[in-house]
Amino acid sequence: MKLSKYFNTKFFYRIVALIFALFLFFYVNADQLTSGQSTGHTLTTSTNEKSIVIEMPLKVKGAKDTEFVAGSPDKVKVRIIGPSAIVTAINNTRNFEVYADLTGKGYGKHTITLSQSGLSKEVSAKIDPQTVKVKISKKATKTFPVQARYNSSNVASGYATGSVTMNNQTVRVTGAKNDVKNVEIVVANVNIPSGTKNDVVRSVLLQALDKKGKSLDVVFDPETVRVTIPVFEASSSKKVSLNLVQSDGDKNRSYSISTDTKTVVLHGTKQALSKVSTLTVPVSVEGVTSSVTRTIQLQSTISGIASISPATISVTITASGDNNESSADVSQTNKIDNSLNNDKTEDDSSKTSSNISVSSSNSEKSSESNN
């Protein structure tokens, strides 16, 4: 009874209310404190620290003027981590450099660790790649003419290309001595969109090729040329004869080439057609040992010629002579030929003497007759 009486007092209810109040206070404040601590950490990370990746040109230091360095990339990537304000300033100014130091390195291949300079000590930087493989060679420089290459078939039907012009007809090529020596041609490859009807003007990067068409690692001055390819409407046509020209033959064989197609029709501009009377067709006889028929694609290197009808012709190639003839056989054959030639010479001499005698005799008869 006394305990029941105690629970019904105002004092008991005040104690219970205070306990609930304290519980709610700590529950709410503990949740806010936890949330506040977590939010504060995230803000600190996102506000005060930043990470970016910058693409920077790679410089080569320490190489001599007589040396050419091949294999180093033009650009590398740099990841920078640090205080947000400093990283943002670095990204805006790019006031630092990445370099490969070749000081003390001689001719040959080397693996070089890349370095950077100019960055604040408050940031960290990671270069990708960290190392590069380079080759140091003796430098050479030579001037070469530039040849523009393009696919004329991309010009719209009924149109033709004119004479190509470039703002630089020649360029200086610098590279390893052996590479410069092996340069066969410097080309500017021009991309002509399919169905082109208007003039094409492009600034084109150059490429140096060897005899096999392999690209060589060299430097050009200037690096690009501006190429202009005029495009005309091909409104005229002209019938011309064919001139078959043998190429790539075996010097120990003889070849004959023929075709049933004697003339073709050229379509192009009047100015271009006025300069053409025959179409030269190169015919490769490489690998021919007997008689074969090949289909030859007709092409014109003359500016202003849009198309050729027919586009292909059949050419018959006949080879004669024995490529496997031994040196002894050749020598024996030569001896027989020389012997025959000597006999022929003696016969010719006898005939000549006989003719002279006959002529003299005839002269004498004529003289007697006159007397």
Model pLDDT, residue 347 = 45
E strands present in 5-130: 49-61, 67-70, 75-83, 97-101, 108-113, 115-117, 124-128
Dihedral, CA atoms, 138, 143, 145, 146, nearest 10 degrees? Answer: 60
Model pLDDT, residue 141 = 96
Could you tell me which of 153, 154, 135, 16 has the C-alpha nearest to residue 67?
135
Model pLDDT, residue 211 = 92
Q: How confident is the model at residue 122 (pLDDT cuts 50, 70, 90)?
A: very high
Q: How confident is the model at residue 5 (pLDDT cuts 50, 70, 90)?
A: low
Q: How confident is the model at residue 315 (pLDDT cuts 50, 70, 90)?
A: very high
Model pLDDT, residue 20 = 75
- CATH code, 49-129: 2.170.120.30
Across 74-78, 150-154, 354-358, which has the greatest mean pLDDT? Answer: 74-78
Model pLDDT, residue 36 = 42
Identify the residue whose tokens are 């496997």: 324
Tell me the domain boundaries of the chain.
49-129, 138-233, 236-320
- Of 22-31, 91-100, 302-311, the one with minimum mean pLDDT is 22-31
- Please, what is the Cα angle at 121 between 116 and 124, to 5 degrees? 65
Q: How confident is the model at residue 47 (pLDDT cuts 50, 70, 90)?
A: low
Identify the residue whose tokens are 């410089």: 59
Residue 371 has pLDDT above 50, yes or no: no
CATH (one of 2.170.120.40, 4.10.220.20, 3.30.420.40, 3.40.50.11540) for 138-233: 2.170.120.40
Q: What is the mean pLDDT of residues 40-46?
A: 38
Encoding tokens for residue 296?
């030859």
Alpha-carbon span 313 to 244, nearest angstrom: 11
Assess contact for 202 and 166: CB atoms under 8 A.
no
- Residue 208 exposed, middle or buried by CB count within 10 Å (0-12, 13-18, 19+): buried
Q: What percent of the chain has pLDDT over 90?
A: 53
Tens of pLDDT along 190-223? 999 999 999 999 999 999 999 999 999 999 999 9
Residue 13 has pLDDT above 90, yes or no: no
Examine domains 49-129 and 236-320 and report if their fold is the same. yes
pTM exceeds 0.85: no
Model pLDDT, residue 124 = 93
- CATH code, 236-320: 2.170.120.40
Residue 358 has pLDDT above 80, yes or no: no
Alpha-carbon span 162 to 298, nearest angstrom: 19
Give the list of residues 6+ apart from residue 281 with CB closer than 8 angstroms, or none. 242, 243, 244, 245, 296, 298, 313, 315
